[in-house]
Amino acid sequence: MVNKTSVTNRTPVSRVVGVIASSAALARATRLRHPPDLFELRLDALRQSLGEVARALPKLRAPLILTARHPAEGGCGNLSLAARRALLLRFLGSAAFVDLEFRSVRQMRALIDQTRRRRIGLIISRHDLHDTPPPNELRRQAKLAAAARPAIFKVATRTDTPAQLARLISFFETTCAPLPIAAMGIGKLGLASRRQLARLGSVLIYVSLGEANSEGQPSLRQLRRDRRAYIK
């Protein structure tokens, strides 16, 4: 059974999540001799390659986060709630975690009940692709998310400007949330945000296995190079 405690406590060392959002990334993930701590299967992006996903599962040597992203938060294919639920259910038996947007929690209640029965961790996420809300608003969202008893609250916001980045960092540094937080920026200062938040104790840091899946996302190789430099 997967030990989830390693990613559910604030720690100076973030757990690394390799994002699989294409057939090329899926193939690359199966060949990694030194995989990241977890893989995220972006099932909305892989919806045309589900046979490949099924065949690759035994070769993925790290626990899996299943995601079928809501279209309003960057999901591919403009998928309906029913279609996203079906994708998650199809691979639920292989999951260590399921990532659901806060906006989908109420409609996905039956699926959440299944994750709890199977002892699969729940990540509740919020993606703001256009801005970073004020810290008080992000704290309010974290409090609301905590009511669903997830393992992690994940927030990804737009960080094109120093002011946006400052709001995200302020939220993370000043929030005494009742659950661990994974925070990251998207945009021109996305990479800087992820480096800083990882050092501050964000429990997850997402990396690409080739081309970046969002602006500012480091590659697995780049992250490991940065960590070696930081340790030195």
pLDDT, tens digit, 9 for 90 and up, residues 167-194: 999 999 988 767 899 999 999 999 999 9
Lowest mean pLDDT among 80-94, 110-124, 182-196, 208-222: 208-222
Lowest mean pLDDT among 135-144, 194-203, 218-227: 218-227
Segment 93-119 mean pLDDT: 96
pLDDT value at 7 more than 60:
no
Segment 130-147 mean pLDDT: 94
Segment 143-171 mean pLDDT: 96
| DSSP class of 175 | -
pLDDT value at 81 more than 50:
yes
Q: Which residue has the higher pLDDT, 64 or 225?
A: 64
pLDDT value at 130 more than 50:
yes
pLDDT value at 123 more than 60:
yes
Long-range contacts of the stretch 127-131 (C-beta < 8 A, 24+)? 127/69, 127/73, 127/74, 127/101, 127/155, 127/156, 127/157, 127/186, 128/155, 128/156, 128/157, 128/158, 129/73, 129/74, 129/158, 129/186, 130/158, 131/157, 131/158, 131/164
Q: Which residue has the higher pLDDT, 150 or 228?
A: 150
Q: Please report the pLDDT score of residue 10 as a whole number.
A: 44
- Tally Cβ neighbours within 10 Å of residue 149: 12
Banded pLDDT at 225 (limits 50, 70, 90): confident
For the chain, which domains are there? 11-231 (3.20.20.70)
- Beta bridge partners, 224, equal none
Banded pLDDT at 232 (limits 50, 70, 90): very low
Query: What proportion of the chain, given as a percentage, has pLDDT over 70?
Result: 92
Nearest to 136 by CA among 184, 95, 168, 182: 168
